[in-house]
Amino acid sequence: MPAVQETVDRVKRIDVDQYRYGFETLIESDKAPKGLSEDTVKFISAKKNEPAWMLQWRLEAYRRWLTMTEPTWARVDYPKIDFQDLYYYSAPKPKKTINSLDEIDPEILKTYEKLGIPLREVAMLEGVEPKPGEQDPNRRKIAVDAVFDSVSVATTFQAELKKAGVIFMPISEAIREHPELVQKYLGSVVPTSDNFYATLNSAVFSDGSFVYVPPGVRCPMELSTYFRINERNTGQFERTLIIADKGSYVSYLEGCTAPQRDENQLHAAVVELVTHDDAEIKYSTVQNWYPGNSEGKGGIYNFVTKRGDCRGNNSKISWTQVETGSAITWKYPSCILRGDNSRGEFYSIAISNGHQQVDSGTKMIHLGKNTSSRIISKGIAAGKSQNTYRGLVTAHRKATGARNFTACDSLLIGDKCGAHTVPYIEAKNSSATFEHEATTSKISEDVLFYCIQRGLSQEEAVGLVVNGFVKDVLQQLPMEFAVEAQKLISISLEGSVG
């Protein structure tokens, strides 16, 4: 069934002025004192019962961070962040140890329910059989590591994953249970000194997911995490580390929505991916942080460092992202193509509306021989937003036979928004073949009228045309996310025309 119709139907049901996901869950929280100091770092580490080496690692990052300054090269504009005016740790108070979903705070479950996202997961977790004809019984399973604020509340499907030898757990647990793996890989892709936000994250990260797929194992299910920011003024510092050992495969889904806020909220996540020989990681994101109100107030600041290291030969890392939220997005999921014949992919849909500012793109660093990369970026700017694609493709001297194909398309809706393409290309050897294509177009009045003459409303017409524009990228998403993504795309363009 064409999912576009579903989108169209969904859009009709939406209340335009209301950010649907803007509500708070009233849960007592357990906060670190406001502000950032060595004591904050120690507090977080102690809360997590971390071993000494971890605290040491954090403190080094913190000291490093003190010497750094915020980057200003991105095309985003925001008031200076007072890092002493934020909370760096907040967790729902655990009432007891949780073994099953029933034991999770019903408030939290209700929050997820309102989001409309995890119903299928909830059903699955509770072993509910799909009603005949209602759902596809063959659909793949999804394991959910639900991150509520800063603490993973439920980790499921552990048993089945364990059978396959896959480790999937909150990183805070992995630090205690698999210190050798964490020590070996943490910071090996994004070093603690990498950039201002990554360094900050290294000092104060609260939690996130850890995945290890052993050699030769194809992870038996999609792994999925939903993030929520729920505590006023809480910095959110997720840390994710995924390792695919030789010949293994894993697909990881990440999605999020955030409640409405007056103050801006800082989100600075770090995601590190490592693939060994012949391994593959597919990482998909649907991002829908609160973008701010119609005057551009509030909204999430999303400063993310995501990087994959194709460490082994013939390995592959693929990033797919649908970015619709955030007041500010600063995000460049990248691939280091170290192994010979390794491949990196970046498929992106970045939508900005209202006063949103998006500066996103990717880096493909070709180091190994015959490495290849592919970048498909679709930027859609509406309202008064600014949408920038920033991409870097480099080939090292030894990266003979490196190949890249880049296609950047921008679509403008209305005339108060802007789309910008900033490609950097550096080939240090002559055998590299880099191709770059870029287009910018305006959504045409004639196209809209054509659709409307055939019976679609203005908003349905925009939804249809935009979904057509991003089709190449949507196809890259796992089915579970494609429909949600389409829905989000239409929602996020509401009120962008007329």
Q: Point out which residues bind other proteins (CB under 8 A).
A: 1-2, 4-5, 8, 444-447, 449-458, 460, 464-465, 467-472
Q: What does DSSP assign to residue 234?
A: B
Spatial distance between the Cα atoms of 114 and 124, rounded to a whole number of angstroms? 17
Q: List the beta bridge partners of residue 104.
A: none
Residue 260 beta carbon to other proteins: minimum distance, rounded to whole angstroms: 31
Residue 343 beta carbon to other proteins: minimum distance, rounded to whole angstroms: 25
CA dist 312 → 190, 199, 309, 429 (Å): 17, 26, 9, 22
Spatial distance between the Cα atoms of 475 and 82, rounded to a whole number of angstroms? 40
Nearer to other proteins by Cβ, of 218 and 471: the residue is 471
Residue 349 beta carbon to other proteins: minimum distance, rounded to whole angstroms: 12
Spatial distance between the Cα atoms of 256 and 165, rounded to a whole number of angstroms? 27
Q: Phi first, then psi: what are they for 34, rounded to 5°?
A: -60, 145
Spatial distance between the Cα atoms of 12 and 477, rounded to a whole number of angstroms? 24
Half-sphere exposure of 432 (CA within 13 A, CB side): 27
Residue 453 beta carbon to other proteins: minimum distance, rounded to whole angstroms: 5
Nearer to other proteins by Cβ, of 1 and 52: the residue is 1
Spatial distance between the Cα atoms of 391 and 438, rounded to a whole number of angstroms? 12
Nearer to other proteins by Cβ, of 28 and 445: the residue is 445
For 14-82, the DSSP string reads S-TT--TT-------EEEPPSS-SHHHHHHHHHHTT--HHHHHHHHHHHHHHHT------SS---PPP-
Residue 461 beta carbon to other proteins: minimum distance, rounded to whole angstroms: 8
Spatial distance between the Cα atoms of 422 and 363, rounded to a whole number of angstroms? 12
Residue 472 beta carbon to other proteins: minimum distance, rounded to whole angstroms: 7
Residue 483 beta carbon to other proteins: minimum distance, rounded to whole angstroms: 14
Nearer to other proteins by Cβ, of 15 and 445: the residue is 445
Residue 238 beta carbon to other proteins: minimum distance, rounded to whole angstroms: 33
Q: What does DSSP assign to residue 297?
A: -
Nearer to other proteins by Cβ, of 263 and 437: the residue is 437
Nearer to other proteins by Cβ, of 72 and 453: the residue is 453
Q: What does DSSP assign to residue 279?
A: -
CA dist 191 → 108, 272, 439 (Å): 34, 10, 35
Q: What does DSSP assign to residue 232?
A: T
Residue 23, class by beta-carbon neighbours within 10 Å (0-12 exposed, 13-18 middle, 19+ buried)?
middle
CA dist 354 → 14, 77, 128, 130 (Å): 17, 14, 40, 39
E strand or H helix at 302, and its extent? strand 300-310
Residue 255 beta carbon to other proteins: minimum distance, rounded to whole angstroms: 23
Nearer to other proteins by Cβ, of 1 and 159: the residue is 1
Nearer to other proteins by Cβ, of 98 and 456: the residue is 456
Residue 391 beta carbon to other proteins: minimum distance, rounded to whole angstroms: 22
Spatial distance between the Cα atoms of 323 and 287, rounded to a whole number of angstroms? 5
Closest residue by Cα to residue 378 from 434, 462, 321, 336: 321
Nearer to other proteins by Cβ, of 5 and 433: the residue is 5
Q: Phi first, then psi: what are they for 16, rounded to 5°?
A: -55, -45
Nearer to other proteins by Cβ, of 336 and 464: the residue is 464
Nearer to other proteins by Cβ, of 116 and 468: the residue is 468
Nearer to other proteins by Cβ, of 136 and 446: the residue is 446
Residue 378 beta carbon to other proteins: minimum distance, rounded to whole angstroms: 10
Q: List the beta bridge partners of residue 316.
A: 280, 343
Pairing of strands 209-213, 167-170: antiparallel
Residue 324 beta carbon to other proteins: minimum distance, rounded to whole angstroms: 18
Neighbouring CB atoms inside 10 A of 9's CB total 12
